[in-house]
Chains A and B, each alone.
Chain A
Amino acid sequence: MRELFFPELRFYRLHKMARAIHLDSGLRKRFREDPESVMNEFGLTEEEKALVRSKDPVKMFNEGVMPYAIFYLIWEAEGWIFLPPEKQTLYREQPAVGPRGL
């Protein structure tokens, strides 16, 4: 993977759509109701469409989607930002390994 926050050229349309959804609440509502038509308007490739349909932020990140586009599509458009902390965070502390028997 390239440097964190590098906008991969092959995701240009996805990034453009994610930003537009972030900035325009009307478009965000339309995306929630009919994501396929919004993806077509922005001309997403099949690879981009599959990632958006997955609604899987880890998969998107691992494929190289820009983290802010992921934030706009998942935390904002899917409303994660208003969920309880444990439902919207992905990172989990590793439990400390104590001595056996404790």
Chain B
Amino acid sequence: MSSHAPQIILQPKVSDEYVAQLAKVHAALMNIGERIRRKGVETLIVFGSDHMETFFLDNYPQLLLFTGESSSAHFGGREVSIRNDTELATHLLYSLLDQGFDVSFSQEMRLDHPFASPLYWVLKTAGDIRVIPFHVNSNVSPRVTPKRCYQLGQAVRRAIESYDGDQRVAVYGTGGLSHYPGTPLYGKVDVEADQLITRKIVEGKGSELANLTSKWLDETGNFELRTWIAALGAVGDVPGEILLYERAYHIGYCVAAVDGV
């Protein structure tokens, strides 16, 4: 799980302190990639939330699985390409529908910064893995509830467990932590709220984050935690590790890892 701010790729040199903070974020993301490679992960399911970039208000999905062959993001002068695990993605789609999650799908879609920002760095060190992008709406209201996101993660786990294939699968949530883009609060970072979240992850109490309300997530700038909650639903309540927390001028950058069981 990690932040996905566009600045992770854009790298605006707004201050020496910020340049140093971004270098730490990049290193932590590449550390995640190394862990993925060491564990022999072959397929990474990435829960990310569109920001009216890939999708628009002509047709806005709450939950959408990418089931096409490949996709890419062109962003900030960089390109990030992924190859999908189409068989597992299609199995996920069927299994989730059977389990009562009416997930939309797309066979052709561009990716944007919620996927590209962290993956640009993670994929440098992760080896040759397949990536299944999974949009969980956190940024265009009305949005999926945090509790439902957790249940979605649990259903994704059941779907993986019922799959015939033997590939090793990891899940990833992108977004957050506290930030207030495009609002009069831009520049505020609710560090206390972020500490509450990181403490729960370290203690292996991710399921308690499912009880946070949408209102609390908005008030603390943590609305994108939905994607982390989905990932935590899939891995279950096992103690995690915070690889990085940096209070930057516009966001609480965080990179975290949980070894699922």
A interface with B by C-beta (< 8 Å): 2-7, 12, 15-16, 19, 22-23, 57-58, 61-62, 66-71, 74-75, 81-85, 88-92
Contact = CB atoms under 8 A, between A and B. Distances in A.
A62 B187 CA distance: 17
* Most chain A Cβ neighbours within 10 Å, of B56, B142, B143, B186: B186
Contact of A91 (B10, B143, B180): B180
A82 B181 CA distance: 15
Label chain B's interface by main secondary structure.
loop
Contacts of A82: 12-14
B141 A5 contact: yes
B183 interface: yes
> 8 tightest CB-CB pairs across the interface, nearest first?
A89-B187, A67-B182, A85-B249, A71-B182, A91-B187, A70-B182, A91-B188, A6-B141
A88 to B, nearest CB: 8
B143 A15 contact: no
A90 B184 contact: yes
Contact of A69 (B10, B52, B187): B52
A85 B56 CA distance: 30
A67 B183 contact: yes
20 contacts: A3-B142, A4-B141, A4-B223, A5-B139, A6-B141, A6-B142, A15-B56, A19-B53, A61-B184, A68-B52, A68-B181, A69-B52, A70-B182, A71-B181, A82-B13, A85-B14, A91-B186, A91-B187, A91-B188, A92-B187
Contacts of B143: 5
A67 B51 CA distance: 10
Contact of B185 (A15, A62, A88, A91): A91
Contacts of A74: 182
A27 to B, nearest CB: 14
Interface in B152-199: 180-188
B14 A84 contact: yes
B148 interface: no
Contacts of B183: 4, 61, 67, 70, 90
